[in-house]
Copies of this chain bind each other. A is one copy, B any other.
Amino acid sequence: MTASEIRALFSVASRPEVVSLAGGSPYVSALPMDAVAETLADLVARRGAVALQYATAQGDELLREQVCEVMAPEGIDGHPDDVVMTTGSQQALDLVTRIFVDPGDVVLAEAPSYVGALQVFRSYQADVVHVPMDDKGLEPVALEEAIQHLRAQGRQLAFLYTIPSFHNPAGTSQPESRREEVLEVCRRHDVLVIEDDPYGLLGFDGDPYRALRADDPEGVIYLGSFSKTFAPGLRVGWALAPHAVREKLVLASEATQLCPSSFSQLAVSSYLSTQDWRGQVDVYRDLYRQRRDATLEALTATMPEGTTWTHPLGGFYVWVTLPEGFDTRVMLPRAVTARVAFVPGSAFFADGSGARSMRLSYCLPEPARIREGVRRLAGVIEEELSMRELFGPAPSHGAAHDGDAPAPDLA
């Protein structure tokens, strides 16, 4: 499939009759729209001349203070001076990569990793080396081996990119002991860590995990976002970075866009000040927990033997792996015809692996739709199995990779 074929496919997948388990769009309909409308109108009426004007490249000072409060539950003791507001955390990742990556440098990332990050790394001609995960996330021993191997080859290592909590797409989380091990390996080998944490507050049970950044302010650049805890349409994210990096981020941001939207920043700031944002996070957590449950129950009820999946404790995604011989890219057009969409696993690897896997997102559809979607998906898989009994396995796309495909998170 070419980029334009995938684009065409996802365009079909966005039709209302298709259950899309593909995109990563949060369920913003759960927001109190009237209160948000009032907050924004009030912002323009009271502070329009500021909200509609240029701002500083680093971002609004009050919002940077509020961001520090938002990070506190994850154990982060950040200073507003070290926060840089960005156009979504995607832009923060783009700027960090621009600063640290020269063409041919290695970026370490989980296997699988966030497709939007791979797109950034590719655009700066980084060489992504995947590090295996188990059900506790990134494997420290494998990380250690990868670093040693790369250093022995004389490769330039830019950083480790990791999503410790509620991983996209894997759905796994690093327990705290695992986090300590990962940090220890990186510290020992002097490897910078980029911690991407858009879902950190969206755990389904108990307190949030302790962020990597909480235990290593100098070795970790932390990326945060309001896209999942509030709303992505405003494009407000941030980086919390050691002082010297923060300076570079501000200059790079200024060259890129002059400044992030003052309106969006003040909108988020007003929302945090005037609305019960913590209560809203709880609303989201309940909602996504129910959808996670619906997904797992439906998978248990319908998937053929030999299929495995992860059991996310938060976030938006389940990672499903089919029995030997499947190629989810080949299966996707058939699935869309059966009115269900997912993202093929190979999208989440820089090297085209992941053919047997797929990412299912449970964030946007209602539970009943999720159950129906998984049922349809099981039907497609069963059909595929019957075909294989009759005709043998379909030819795989092998090491094909997504090239310039559109970011499936927007599908």
> Which residues of A approach B to under 8 Å, CB–CB?
23-26, 28-29, 31, 33-34, 36-38, 40-45, 48-57, 87-88, 90-91, 94, 98, 116, 119-120, 122-123, 227, 231-235, 251-252, 254-264, 267, 404, 406-407, 409-410
Contact = CB atoms under 8 A, between A and B. Distances in A.
B53 A33 contact: no
A45 B49 contact: no
User: How many copies of this chain does one complex carry?
Assistant: 2
Contacts of A87: 87, 235, 257, 260-261
Contacts of A252: 123
Contacts of A123: 98, 252, 255-256
B256 A233 contact: no
Given A28-B48, A41-B38, A258-B88, A263 B251 contact: no
Contacts of A264: 235, 261, 263-264
Contacts of A31: 48, 52
Interface majority SS on A: helix, strand, loop or mixed? helix
Given A88-B257, A233-B261, 5 more contacts: A25-B54, A28-B48, A56-B410, A88-B258, A254-B406
Contacts of A38: 41
Contact of A44 (B40, B56, B57, B116): B40
A90 B52 contact: no
A94 to B, nearest CB: 5
A57 B406 contact: yes
B94 A257 contact: yes
A390 to B, nearest CB: 40
Contact of A410 (B116, B255, B259): B259
Given A120-B255, A258-B409, A44 B36 contact: yes
Given A254-B407, A262-B233, A263-B234, A52 B40 contact: no
Given A255-B94, A257-B94, A407-B258, A33 B48 contact: yes
